[in-house]
A and B are shown apart, each in its own frame.
Chain A
């Protein structure tokens, strides 16, 4: 008769309980006569039943609604940040173009306020193209780790613009 080690039987108990494996005749005989293994089998059966009622009655609808709403909010926030970035990049590009125009007399910083009304006629794609042409890339100037340009005040935004001008 083959000797059956308790540890081997206990090792396979969850798989047999899940229907993925079956006891051999020798293992079944061992189980029938081994108190140690029977006790472990009871323990595992109890652990296997834990939370079964909860799972069967759990209503995922509230979780679905809340997670979906959070994902939408996050997506909207990302899109808004991209739009602001594009507009800011375009404004910076035009500022640089105006300030470096050939033949233009040097203007002391802060002595002149520039209005960029021409940006109003550009759509998002055109603004994005302008942003791509910037050097250094505008993304390098954007606050990282959750920073949001919308959180900057006008002075901080002006600093970002000035840094683009070198």
Chain B
């Protein structure tokens, strides 16, 4: 007796097309699929825990408003990371002076209260602050490569640069973080 067919999950481009066609549920599916990863990306890039939900919300709202501009050269998640990164940059600019991360701040007091669920480890928090203090392109390339396992070509497509430049940014980031860890 044949097994009942298991419905194949829709791909991101399929869901995007359905949303553009007026199907609201497709947006919800995309959010359920990618919101946790976007939250992690923002957190790893230095976002405060208290700001995460707002940043994730704004990222998706803006993404859906201009979904027709997603060129699909990079994956949907990668495109979301780019929007999220812009949101984070704007948030930091708005709160300028309230939270300053610098390379010298490796041993600075923590600005985010440790949370057992998030990251209780002090070393991890210092590493997070070190990543947050990297120049933007270095930080983005580093996180996409180390956490997302993206190859340089995909990163370059997402960030509008070349694979060679992405590789250079990655190695600069590794070098700086290595110096901080010493």
Contact = CB atoms under 8 A, between A and B. Distances in A.
B118 interface: yes
Interface residues of A, number: 37
A44 B39 contact: no
Contacts of A10: 171, 174
B51 interface: no
A20 interface: yes
Contacts of B2: none
A119 interface: no
A56 to B, nearest CB: 7
User: Interface residues of B: mostly helix, strand, loop or mixed?
Assistant: helix
Contact of A51 (B40, B64, B145, B178): B40
Contacts of B86: none
A54 B119 contact: yes
User: Interface residues of A: mostly helix, strand, loop or mixed?
Assistant: helix
Nearest to A58: B36
A22 interface: no
A60 B146 CA distance: 24
A105 to B, nearest CB: 51
Interface stretch (B3-11, B23-31, B103-111): B23-31
Contact of A46 (B27, B37, B64, B127): B127
B18 interface: no
B56 interface: yes
B31 A40 contact: no
Given A43-B174, A64-B31, A70-B61, A54 B43 contact: yes
B57 interface: yes
B165 interface: no
Given A11-B167, A18-B149, A54-B118, A39 B178 contact: yes
B147 interface: yes
Nearest to B152: A11
B171 A47 contact: no
Given A15-B151, A43-B174, A49-B124, A63 B35 contact: yes
Given A14-B145, A52-B40, A71 B64 contact: yes
A125 B94 CA distance: 45
Interface in B22-71: 24, 27-28, 31-32, 35-37, 39-41, 43-44, 52-53, 56-57, 60-61, 64-65
B53 A14 contact: no
Contacts of A49: 124
Interface of A: 7, 10-11, 14-15, 17-20, 39-40, 43-44, 46-58, 60, 62-64, 66-68, 70-72, 74
27 contacts: A11-B171, A17-B146, A39-B181, A44-B146, A47-B44, A47-B143, A47-B177, A50-B147, A51-B40, A51-B44, A53-B118, A54-B39, A54-B40, A55-B39, A56-B36, A58-B35, A60-B32, A60-B35, A63-B31, A63-B35, A63-B57, A63-B60, A66-B57, A67-B31, A67-B64, A70-B61, A71-B64
